[in-house]
Structure 1
Amino acid sequence: MIGNILKDWKSRSNKYERLWLLAKIEFKLRYYENKLGLFWALLKPLMDIAIYYVAFKVILKTDVPAFASYLFIGLVFWIFFVESTTGTIQILNTKKYLYEYSNMNKLEIYISTLFSNSIGFLFNLSMFFLFYHFFESQSNPISYNNLWVIVLFINLFILSLGCSLMLSNLYIIAKDINQIWMVFISFLFFLSPIFYKLSSFKESLPALEYGNPMAGIIINSRRVMMDGVAPDFELLAFDFGYAIFFLLVGIILLNKLGAKAAEKL
């Protein structure tokens, strides 16, 4: 079942060119009418950082070192996950023409959308790197362990793709999955150590970093990008396990429900 979908995609010609072309088109369309262009990709995390910085650093007096950077890197990973999942729930409906009237595999539509989001992620991550190392007074030196962020992003990409496949195919039979996911994503936000001190998070929600894959990814992203140390490999293994499991479930749903998406939607 899963093998048939992957084999079908692998057998198609010019697949990599199509993926890159679709990703570029999607990214350009997102900022086409905005005069500030790519700057809007950075504006969202900057606004969130400003709000949470005032709330937790100024008002609640949190003692997290380099708190602005602590927020920044957490939000960079979180925003990619949210945009990739919420933005693809109705993808089988909005991009129905691509798989109905072209040679495109449905899986390509998801991957190209996430590639488009990856451009914004790369931009935001670059801005974080510059801010942390050149403007943050409490920064650690650049380390080869920073390269582990590539592995963490692959983990995040697979997790986001799996969730996207599951949600968009469930949308075929339950349109209110969109509203349910928006509520759940808000709940998950507060169950992730985005603005909490890590020790407080572990004390209040023991072992949740192993039950919430986004929490684990955010924790490891701070380890490799801010502390300059290797990720927690046990936590990384758990997070990859979650990501692969969700991806397999998503592909199964795509094979069972997605096959008749055009008719039902």
Structure 2
Amino acid sequence: MIVSIVTDWFKRSNKSERLWLLAKIEFKLRYYENKLGLLWALIKPLMDIAIYYVVFQIIMKQDTPQFASYLFIGLICWNFFLESTTGTVQILNTKKYLYEYSNMNKLEIYVSTLLSNSIGFFFNFVMFLLFFNFVERGPDHSNLQTLWLLPLFVNLYILSLATSLIISNIYVIAKDVTQIWQVFTQVLFFLSPILYPLNKFKDALPNFDYLNPLGGIIINARQTSMYGVSPDFKLFFFDFGYAILLLIFGMFLLNKLGSKAAEKL
């Protein structure tokens, strides 16, 4: 049944054009009524960085080199995951009109929503590269390793899509998942190496980077973009494995529970 969902989606015509159009519309609508418009896509992570920088670098005297960039890349990855998952918990309800009154596959709704978030991600990532390369970059940095960020983002996208499928389909039968997910993401934030030096994180939570796929993505994103070294391939393949397994489970739930969403929500 999972294969039939994917096959049905690939058989449809004009998939890429429709997905990209929906993604652009959603991205624009998100900031349409704000005075600063699309600048909010940049201001949000910058405000987060400013707050954490003051707390950890100035008040707590964090000794991590290039700490602003260290925070920046971590928060970009975290915010993409958070927005993609919390923003899709009720997607089968809020966008019911798309799969009830059009020929859209439910999977397309998820994909287009995450594509919309991807626009903001790449906008912020360009700002990170400009800041790091012109403000905090070290003299021995190699730009070639930065290309590893493309497969790392694919990993992050699949992980976010899989998680979105799981929690939004559980929402069909258990509305409490919204509150549970809010608490879980708060815990996950502080159990990810976003604010702390990597050595302290590993000392406090040995091998936890292999249990937290989001943490592994952040670690490898920093290694490739900031330190100019290849990713930890063992961690890289672990994270991809987690993402694929979760995606299969999410597709299973979409088939079992998503088909009943229109009548239950």
Q: Does 1:179 align with 2:164?
A: no
The 1-side partners of 2:142 and 2:32 are apart by 35
2:59 matched to which residue of 1?
59
CA shift at 1:138, angstroms? 4.1
The 2-side partners of 1:180 and 1:139 are apart by 45
Once the two structures are superposed, residues 55-77 of structure 1 have per-residue CA deviations (whole angstroms, 9 ceiling, x without a partner) of 11111111100000000000000
The 1-side partners of 2:91 and 2:55 are apart by 36
The 2-side partners of 1:142 and 1:118 are apart by 25
The 1-side partners of 2:125 and 2:143 are apart by 16
**Letter of the 2:133 counterpart:** H
The 1-side partners of 2:78 and 2:99 are apart by 29
Q: Does 1:239 align with 2:239?
A: yes
Contact 2:137 2:226 (8 Å CA) reproduced: no
**Letter of the 1:197 counterpart:** P
CA shift at 1:141, angstroms? 3.2
CA shift at 1:142, angstroms? 4.2
SS at match of 2:226: helix
CA shift at 1:35, angstroms? 2.1
Change (3 A) 1:66 1:99: same
1:89 matched to which residue of 2?
89
1:10 matched to which residue of 2?
10
2:227 matched to which residue of 1?
227
**Letter of the 1:211 counterpart:** L
The 2-side partners of 1:223 and 1:132 are apart by 13
Contact 2:74 2:218 (8 Å CA) reproduced: yes
Contact 1:66 1:139 (8 Å CA) reproduced: no
2:71 matched to which residue of 1?
71
Contact 1:139 1:226 (8 Å CA) reproduced: no
TM-score by length of 1: 0.98
1:210 matched to which residue of 2?
210
Q: How does 1:129-140 map to 2 (within 5 A)?
A: 129-136=129-136, 138=138, 140=140
1:160 matched to which residue of 2?
160
Change (3 A) 1:142 1:101: same
Q: How does 1:26-65 map to 2 (within 5 A)?
A: 26-65=26-65
Once the two structures are superposed, residues 68-118 of structure 1 have per-residue CA deviations (whole angstroms, 9 ceiling, x without a partner) of 000000000000000000000000000000000001000000000000000
CA RMSD of aligned residues (A): 0.9
Change (3 A) 1:86 1:168: same
TM-score by length of 2: 0.98
**Letter of the 2:252 counterpart:** I
Once the two structures are superposed, residues 13-63 of structure 1 have per-residue CA deviations (whole angstroms, 9 ceiling, x without a partner) of 111111001001000100111121221011111111111111111111111
Structure 1 unaligned spans of 5+: none
Structure 2 unaligned spans of 5+: none
Contact 1:85 1:163 (8 Å CA) reproduced: yes
